[in-house]
Amino acid sequence: MKKFILFALILMCMSCSKSIEDEAMEHLKIMMKEMVNCADEAELVNTHTVYKSDSLCVIDFTLKAPNGAGAMLSTPMEYLYIDVEINGQRVCGESITFEDKFDFLHEQSEEEKELEKELAKEGFDMNYIINNSVANVKSKYRNELIKYAHHNPNHPKIEDKLTFSAAWLKLMTRGREVNKNKGKDIKL
């Protein structure tokens, strides 16, 4: 009986913890609230999880929000959320992919210019990485990711490893650290 009660308590604790998908949705809403001018009028529609694992969640969605002139725009986007422990250090980050036309708003820092040069040496185009989905980056740079991340192409979970590597590459180019305490009360 004691073993059963202990087992039931463990199951209850496990079911109470948030999944990476729940965490990703929460942080996606926070990010959109920060990015959109009239956040109270914005809406996330057609939201669906494209990929999830224990450390990565990729969500496709459409943002419906008013532009500066008051017209409602619908913009397809991809959000990625990574929460992983690497070498004893927790890394939690997010990145968003817009359509190509939005990237001109961003002025490249000196660090980004250096990163772009380093990525080019490895065979990667930073603009392509920034402006395309995780799946497209994975597809285009499959061989480079295998080589760069030292993946065994015959590993039974190679597709998962390549998806994570493509997401990590996107996070590295235009991602940001997630503040786990920010915006808990924001609803979109």
Predicted local distance difference test score (pLDDT) of residue 55: 95
Q: What is the mean pLDDT of residues 105-130?
A: 88
pLDDT at 32: 87
State the average pLDDT for the chain. Answer: 82
d(CA 49, CA 47): 7
The more confident residue out of 155 and 101 is 155
In this predicted structure, the answer to whether residue 3 has a pLDDT above a threshold of 60 is no
- Cβ-contact 152, 158 below 8 angstroms: yes
- pLDDT (0 to 100) of residue 99: 63
pLDDT in tens, 141-187: 999 999 988 888 899 999 999 999 999 999 999 898 987 655 444 33
Strand partners, 67: none
User: Which residues are within 8 A (CB) of 50 and not within 5 positions of it... i.e. 6 or more apart?
Assistant: 58, 59, 60, 78, 133, 134, 135
Cα separation of 58 and 98, whole Å? 14
* Interval 101-110 mean pLDDT: 65
Dihedral of the CA atoms 37, 58, 172, 77 (nearest 10)? -40
Considering the chain, what percentage of its residues have pLDDT values greater than 90?
49
At 4-27, the pLDDT tens digits run 333 333 333 333 347 999 999 999
Question: What pLDDT was estimated at residue 180?
Answer: 63
- Half-sphere exposure for 53 (CA within 13 Å, toward CB): 15
Q: State yes or no: pLDDT of 101 exceeds 80.
A: no
Residue carrying the six token digits 């040496």: 121
Question: Which pLDDT score is estimated for 71?
Answer: 81
The pLDDT > 70 percentage for the chain reads 82
> Which of helix, strand or coil describes residue 97?
strand
Q: Torsions phi, psi of 139, nearest 5?
A: -65, -50
